[in-house]
Structures are given as structure tokens and as C-alpha cells.
Amino acid sequence: MTEVLFYHLHRQPLERVLPPLLEKSLERGWRVVVQTSSEERVEALDAHLWTYRDDGFLPHGLASETEAAVQPVLLTTTEQNPNSANVRFLIDGAPVPDNVSAYQRIVLIFDGEDEEAVTAARAHWSAVKAKGFEATYWQPDEQGRWVKKA
């Protein structure tokens, strides 16, 4: 059964939160696709994932590249899954795909400071639950560690 995880950004930017979550997915042997709503965001994340740490980088590629199918992490603006990912991250308002059950896990990250994003996340939560999927809600504690709230 597909798990759908809702991550509520609070006092932390996506650029700080996303890389460790992607690393944990890779450690579990999962392939990942990250869907965002704009090419500009894809380009910014692409640059960030190469340089976010001094001692390494996160291997990834873009859906527009010819080697997309072999990438462990793929950045895209579409619902396609060219690298046969097990996990799909949705950011910046990217919609929950119709084929939720094609993934082991869907991770929806939303900005808790943006009322429109919070409203959309609540609607996605209701829709996912109505379809019978297991959904969990995560929020950072005072130290920035993720805590399951629901």
C-alpha cells in the first residue's frame, strides 16, 4: 500500500529540507522523482543538489536529459516517471498524481507559511484519505527534526 507523507515546512526552506530526505530515500535503495511546478525551480534545485554540501553532492539528473532513465533522483515538472521511481516528491504545488498506487511513497512538501499551500495540502490530505491511502503528517520540532503529528 502506498504511503503518502505530508511534510509541513516551518522556519526551514525547502533547500535545507529536501536533500536529507532524498539521501534517506537513496539509502533505502529507492529511486526518486521530484516534481515541481516550474522549469526555473528545476534549474535552481539542479544547481543546489550539486553544491549543498562541501563534502559531496546528491547524484541526480533532469527529465529533459537523454540519460533520465538511469538517474537515481530525477527533477521534473511533469507526472511522467522516466527513471521508474519508487518515491515521488511533490513540491511547490505540484499535483498529486492520478497513479498514486504506482509508488511506494508519495512525499508532499508544503510551505506552512503560505496559506494557499496549507489549504491545498489539506485538500490533498482529504482526497488521499478518501481513496484509502495511508497518510501521515510531519512537522519539525524545535531542533528541526521531523516529528509525526498525525
Q: What is the rounded distance in angstroms from the CA atom of residue 102 to the CA atom of residue 26?
A: 18
The tens digit of pLDDT for each residue in 36-70 reads: 999 999 999 999 999 888 887 899 999 999 999 99
Q: pTM for the whole thing?
A: 0.95
What domains sit in the chain, N to C, each tagged with a CATH number? 3-148 (3.40.50.10110)
The tens digit of pLDDT for each residue in 95-106 reads: 999 899 999 999
* Torsional sign, CA 72, 78, 84, 89: positive
Task: Average the pLDDT over 116-135 and give the result.
Answer: 95
- Residue 98 CA from chain centroid, whole number: 16
* Torsional sign, CA 47, 23, 100, 11: negative
